[in-house]
Structure 1
Amino acid sequence: MSITPPAPAPMPDPDDVARGLAELERHLSQQAPPPLPAISPSPSHPAEADGQTRRVLRLRAEVAEAHQLAALQGDDAPLLVDTAKVRKRRKQAREAARLHELGQDPAMRAWQAARMRRLLVAAAMVSLTLALAWSTAGVQTFAADGAPAWSPSWVFAWLVEPFMSLALLVVVGARAYLGTRGQPIDSPTLVRIEWLFLALTLGMNAWPYLPGVAETFSISRLVLHVLGPVVAVAIVTALPIILAAFTRLDHGTDARSGNPLTPLEYRANATADPDPGEHSDGPGIDVVTAHVRALIAAGQLPPYPSAAAIRRAARCAMDTARAVRDALVKEAT
């Protein structure tokens, strides 16, 4: 048996080989991954980025910051801004200045004087009431004259001081109130009534404890029992003097109308005898007003005279003088 050798393979065409290689290259280029980005030189490496290391960059930032700070330090704008503490002090200073200015206003000074006067009168009346109440026990001891407790004489002895105190408070209260209204009462009769009640209160408090009357004399007990009447005497004596001083206060000139707030001279009108030339059916208000204007122009009266000054100069009734005063003030405003 004979073996036939295989036929030789045909030689490939060079054009086919070229086309196969081109197809292979095109296939490989489509399947290849995208190229990696270029890696910049690391700044940590001394040879990279022309020596721009982290220390160099940090120092360059510090130098730039220093230049900015040096340029801003010459600006004083932050120093011109008020802090919270400065604004608080400025507010307090402005408030104090306005309060001081308001305190110089004549109307405010008159209001302050009136308020203080009412306060003093109220305090004086309360003190007088307490002083008289303090002496009630001493007067009761004197009036009871050793009567048994809760007997009629012992009970009614407690009423002696209250009815005397009420009568005294009526007189003192009336004088105090009218004094605050500018019409003080300078009646010798009322003064004698006050001293009579005070003398009775003082005598009844002090009698059981005087030397020769008390079984055992003690100066401390005597002073303690006469303390109430002494305080009452002091208040009754001082209160009219204080009120008279308030009526003579000069509060200055009203800045709004130019009308001087002069003290009204009530004392002459209240205590002096009526002027024979004063009568209610005297000249009219217009005539008196014209006469007062002439006196003001001649310098015999101030620009804004009080009602008492008009009454004395024009010899008219007090009601007419008040009307003329109001008319002059109205003309000025």
Structure 2
Amino acid sequence: MPPLGSLEQEFPIIDSNFRRFCASHGIFSVEDFLVNDLCALTGFAEREPMSEALKKGIAQVVSLMDRQHQPWLNGIDLLRDARGNKRILPTGCQGIDFVLQGGLREGLLVELVGPSSSGKTQVCLHAAAHVVDEQLGTVMFLDTGNSFSAERISSFLDHSSMSSSYSKVAKERRCCSVMNSIVCQPVFDIFELLDMLHQLGITLSHKVRSEGNKLCLLIVDSISSLITPILGGKDSHGRSLMISTGFALKRLANEHNLSVLVTNHMVGGEGGTLKPALGESWKSIPHMRLLLSHDCGTNMCTVSVLKHSSMVPSSQVSAATVI
């Protein structure tokens, strides 16, 4: 859910007067409404000269929040959705595709967890290059830490199995085609991310594109670098923003048949053992969670399943697989 200022074009009632009123009560975004007493806020609005307009603005924001909740579905609806037009997008990483039973699935959110230098960004870049090179659609890469590297993507293409059959001119043409189909956007705070996801949803809802140019993969590397700074303390605002971000990503995946791939770093837990950042509240959001690790001695990466939406519990084992 986005900052209030980004909503005026779509909802004129959320104008500068409404935003000034909200700011006077410490409210600057839709998320801020989640941790405020709306009855009290409406009471404050009634004391203002433009009370009716302010109350209509409050009602509009509440309506936006209500839209965040997914409709109730029965088992038949869920089965029909699972069997629907959900393509599998191979990442080109053998181990990742093996544990994901073929690759990333449209409509689902996959999280890559791992310590620094475990290969998370490598997988993201490789997936972006492979999906576009296979002409499955376009990719949007939201870069939160200057991790995007066009040079590494070019290197993946040069070392692919098909590369040897291309002439130098054909290789350059192929590289340009892939790069043109990957949109990289830097994002440096959670509010910017939420605004961007909101605008992306509007664009995907209204813009008609050919199937060959369809956005099919959204990557956020890394989601935790934006969320970690707002967590902690007694204030629940940070947790509300985190949950809102997770639901925004899942809603985009579901409504627009996107595959969403995010990365999450690890932090020290009890006894010095590492655990995924963002805590228990975040853990339930991704449909699938994969743990990456890197063996410096062999220079090999392994991947294990922490959570998989289509595996029975007994199948959720940590069987190491080479990426």
Q: Same fold (TM over 0.5)?
A: no
TM-score bracket for this pair, using the shorter chain length: under 0.3
Q: Pick the structure with more helix per residue.
A: 1
Q: Which has the higher contact order (CA 8 A, sep 6+)?
A: 2
> Greater CA radius of gyration, 1 or 2?
1
